[in-house]
A and B are shown apart, each in its own frame.
Chain A
Amino acid sequence: MRLGLILGEVGSGLRRNVSMVISVVLVTFISLTFVGAAILLQMQIGQMKDYWYDRAQVAVYMCTDLDTTGTCTQSEATKTQIDAVEAQLKSPALAPYIKKYEYETHDQAYTNFQEQLADNPIASFVTPETLNESFRVNLVDPTEADILIESLSGSPGVQEVRDQRSYLDRIFAVLNAASYTAIGVAALMLVAAVLLIATTIRLSAFSRRRELGIMRLVGASNRFIQTPFILEGVFAALIGSILASVAIVAIVQFFVQGYLTRALQSTTTLVGLGDALVVVPILIAVGAALAAASAGVAISRYLKV
């Protein structure tokens, strides 16, 4: 009986305010889509970090005939110098940090270069002698690259010690910036959504102020009075969050798994449908909680006894 009455009130409130309800639905839809996109982007960054940091190496570049930077004086690193660096890598000071290392010769470097930049005109200008020979070191913990950089930079015959993570970090910085932008837009839109829900509920309460006055007079409990309004806000926000969830799943399914996977092939891992389905309950919970809170605050001034 009471449930039917409350749901009836919710229905009539929604009907009376159709245009406001639609705007609440749209604003929550857009804002939660941005929230979902930001979460997915963070998940993507996390996956890429896992994937690439494992493969990232520290490269110890040895001098070539052309180099003048580091300890190089336009002369090729000698065998003694190379052995000295290798001895350092094997020394008890550095060995515990190193998982494995290998030496890349001019010819290997040339082959890799040609492979990686096959379509690039620069590939045809490069000769094996211009490419550095290098030690490729895999660390136990990729974040401890500084130890290697400090101990090997300045050794004779070493041009540069480079942590490849620094290249990755630039990519991650771009992705991070994108995800923070999405979060910023989402936050602004969520503020708009919360205010819009509050306004809608106030409008709805105002149009029913006679009923509310009588309810208070005859002793309807506060919960009975406020429940229809909170449900009204939650209902509108729920539609918005369901639309946002559908949009997020569609983006992952058709854009990430469909287009991006084909375009990038197997160069990196991408977020999948499983990740999208993790985001869906978050969006629905955020939408419902925000709507309930803002509607509750909006209606509270009509409950003062």
Chain B
Amino acid sequence: MIRFDSITKAYPGTTRPALNGVSLEILKGEFVFLVGASGSGKSSFLRLILREETPSKGAIHVLGQHLNTLTNRKVPYFRRNLGVVFQDFRLLPNKTVFDNVAFTLQVIGKSKGYIQEAVPDALKMVGLAGKSNRFPHELSGGEQQRVAIARAVVNKPAILLADEPTGNLDPATSAGIMTLLERINLGGTTVIMATHDAGIVDQMKRRVIELISGQIVRDERQGGYQTQAVPVQGFGRQSTEVAP
């Protein structure tokens, strides 16, 4: 479903690559946590899958497409198979909840009838069925993130990318969001979630990929936020390893 073949991504003007020789494969229906300090390459990883960036070296295949050779013109059609959720929600403040979710379908040319059916379904799935006429500023943070998730999954994508979706939320609300993501995953959608939230990762017991300085240092089934296999490093040691 997603395959990285020794991917290196170096941004122009920097000496140290954001990702350095990363190889991995993520299968259909997996739930993957991407952990690591800021600057370890998590965001670059997600941006590469989204084809917002192209790798400096190596090949990426996502959903059977070779992203290195995908032409710019075809990128929008490729992205229709992906859903994305961000830490800062990125809702349109002047549109209602319904319109925010419908916007996604409108701009890819879905019919009015399809939108009238699919949007309420998605809102019901995230538990906001009764709030479709509210504006984003009238909702709590957790509810706004649910709208963002509804927007990401309304087109039934094969992959859901989440970049710290619980970063702005309190633990109880975060737990609700995680339940929702888990349910989406159970429906067959591959979920890749970058996070700093140790509690969530430890509790979910899913596949964990840890990045340090652009390299995969751990890829563990049913892992925790910190590795059980390697003893925890001392503070000084860790900071030299992690700091960019």
Contact = CB atoms under 8 A, between A and B. Distances in A.
Interface stretch (B69-77, B188-196, B235-243): B69-77
A5 B99 CA distance: 13
A213 B155 CA distance: 17
A218 B83 CA distance: 7
Contact of A214 (B75, B92, B109): B92
B221 interface: no
B80 interface: yes
Given A5-B106, A305-B51, A305-B72, A219 B90 contact: no
A181 interface: no
B149 to A, nearest CB: 13
B84 A217 contact: yes
A305 B52 contact: yes
A214 B90 contact: yes
A305 B107 contact: no
B90 A210 contact: yes
A213 B107 contact: no
Interface residues of B, number: 26
Interface residues of A, number: 19
B108 A218 contact: yes
A214 B103 contact: yes
Interface string A184-228: 000000000000000000000000001101111111111011000
Nearest to B110: A1
B109 A218 contact: no
Contact of A305 (B75, B84, B103): B75
Contacts of A217: 50, 79, 84
A262 interface: no
B107 A215 contact: yes
Contacts of A79: none
Contacts of B75: 219, 305
Interface in B187-241: none
A301 to B, nearest CB: 13
A305 B76 contact: yes
Contact of B76 (A1, A2, A210, A221): A221
B76 A222 contact: yes
Nearest to A213: B90
Interface string B142-180: 000000000100010000000000000000000000000
Given A305-B52, A305-B76, A220 B90 contact: no
Contacts of A218: 79-80, 104, 107-108, 151, 155
Nearest to B81: A219
B107 A220 contact: yes
A104 to B, nearest CB: 76
A1 B82 CA distance: 24
A217 B73 CA distance: 14
B135 interface: no
Contacts of B90: 210, 213-214
Contacts of B93: 210
B108 A1 contact: no
B71 to A, nearest CB: 10
A211 B76 contact: no
A248 B34 CA distance: 67
Interface string B48-84: 0011100000000000000000001101111110101
Given A1-B111, A218-B79, A219-B82, 7 more contacts: A1-B106, A5-B106, A213-B90, A214-B90, A218-B104, A305-B52, A305-B75
Interface of B: 50-52, 72-73, 75-80, 82, 84, 90, 92-93, 103-104, 106-109, 111-112, 151, 155
